[in-house]
Amino acid sequence: MRTDRVSIVDSTLREGQQTYGVVFTPEGKLEIARQLERARVDMIEVGHPFRSPEDLPTAQNIAQQIRETIIVALGYAAEPTAVDLAWEAIRRAERPRIALYLPCSDIRLETHLRQTRQQALEPAVAAVKRARDYCPDVEFAPSDATRADPEYLCQIVEAVIAAGAGTVELPDSLGYALPGEYASLVRRVQRSVPNIGDVPISVHCHDDLGLALANTLEGLQAGARQVSGCFNGLGERAGSAALEELVMVLDTRRDFYGLATGIDTTQIYPTSQLISRVSGVPIQPNKSIVGANAFRHGSRIHRAGAVLARQNYEIMDRSTIGWPEKD
């Protein structure tokens, strides 16, 4: 069976820092970035320097020290200076990417941008062209995509691709979509945008209704081949898709999905533990994959069965995620 490759974007240093109460130190950010590189994530988002100017020196430092992984900085497409600052953050990276975003749902356009749909197209296209003057690798995200009018969403995707965007993200910014809806949206964009060609679609799903992982998997089933999320499911409000869960679903059920990542799964547990320590956000004991109870059995029957053969009551070997032999 052919296995397709899924690229993993870790957003812990950007989206994860938006978790309520989390403040990363520069030293903590660098430590996390080095561990993410060790875990072989494909891309590391290092921040949004326009929104958080104090993060610029740290982002620049990470861009210089992390050489194997693509380094991504975010830019708000409505502000030309945001594009410039994003490039300033990553211009010394071996493999830089500028990721732009702009609201595309009517409620965001009316209350946030105070613009019409047509008016919002202009800064989106201009920002992509500006970013391409700096960097050949540009991504665009029409944020709040799942609450947008699908026809307008396709229109803006077509426009930014024509302007030079090489990746398009379809964010479920508020965790609003149901899995079937999200898959349909990905398919509609692929079907309706005439110039999408081989441009990869990325998914970024929030967990407000507890559906971030389900929506992410449905997006992949529909043809997306890039995922943005955070280890431990950090992020705004209820968080984003937990990367450790996604990676292990694809690894454990490769027979069903036929998809693989480049993640070194033995680094999952160490990465999760480090991010928990640096962020100050504890991992709930019954959290899947990395929770303290994920491989513990309370039932005597389960314990006895697991001793006879682990596969009786465990579908994963803890060693594959780097779990210590004794816990």
Q: What is the 3-state secondary structure (H, E, C) of the chain?
A: CCCEECEEEECCCCCHHHCCCCCCCHHHHHHHHHHHHHCCCCEEEEECCCCCHHHHHHHHHHHHHCCCCEEEEEEECCCHHHHHHHHHHHCCCCCEEEEEEEECCHHHHHHHHCCCHHHHHHHHHHHHHHHHHHCCCEEEEEECHHHCCHHHHHHHHHHHHHHCCCEEEEEECCCCCCHHHHHHHHHHHHHHCCCCCCCCEEEEEECCCCCHHHHHHHHHHCCCCEEEEEHHHCCCCCCECEHHHHHHHHHHCHHHHCEECCCCHHHHHHHHHHHHHHHCCCCCCCCCCCCCCCCCCCCHHHHHHHHHCHHHCCCCCHHHHCCCCCC
* Residue 101 and residue 172 in one domain: yes
**pLDDT single digits (tens) 50-77:** 988 988 999 999 999 999 999 999 999 9
Report the range of poorest mean pLDDT among 74-83, 196-205, 278-287, 308-317. 308-317
Determine, yes or no, domain membership for 285.
no
Worst-scoring range by mean pLDDT, 4-18, 234-248, 302-316?
302-316
Instruction: Tell me the per-residue pLDDT of 132-144, one tens digit each, with 9 for 90 and over.
Output: 999 999 999 999 9
pLDDT in tens, 249-290: 999 999 999 999 999 999 999 999 999 999 999 999 999 999
Residues 64 and 96 in one domain: yes
The answer to whether position 113 is within a domain reads yes
Point out the least confidently predicted range of 25-34, 122-131, 300-309.
Answer: 300-309
Q: Are 208 and 127 in a shared domain?
A: yes
| 229 and 308 fall within a common domain | no
Same domain, 31 and 67: yes
Render pLDDT for 69-114 as a digit per residue (tens, 0 to 9).
Answer: 999 999 999 999 999 999 999 999 999 999 999 999 999 889 988 8
Boundaries of domain holding 233: 4-279
Q: Are residues 215 and 325 in the same domain?
A: no
The predicted structure's pLDDT at residue 112: 81
Shared domain for 252 and 325, answered yes or no, is: no
Same domain, 269 and 302: no
Same domain, 202 and 260: yes
Same domain, 55 and 148: yes
Q: Is residue 122 part of a domain?
A: yes
Read off the CATH number of the domain in which 236 is found.
3.20.20.70
Residue 179 lies in a domain: yes
pLDDT on residue 101: 97
Ranking 40-44, 59-63, 242-246, 308-312 by mean pLDDT, the lowest is: 308-312
Q: Let me know if residue 289 belongs to a domain.
A: no
Q: pLDDT at position 302, please?
A: 45
Percentage of residues in the chain having pLDDT higher than 90? 83
Is the same domain home to 271 and 306? no
293, part of any domain: no
Specify whether 220 is located in the same domain as 304. no
Q: Is the pLDDT of residue 307 over 60?
A: no
What is the total count of domains within the chain?
Answer: 2
Tell me whether residue 287 is in a domain. Answer: no
Contacts of 167 (CB under 8 A, 6+ apart): 137, 138, 139, 140, 199, 200, 201, 202, 226
Residue 219 lies in a domain: yes
Q: Mean pLDDT over all residues of the chain?
A: 93
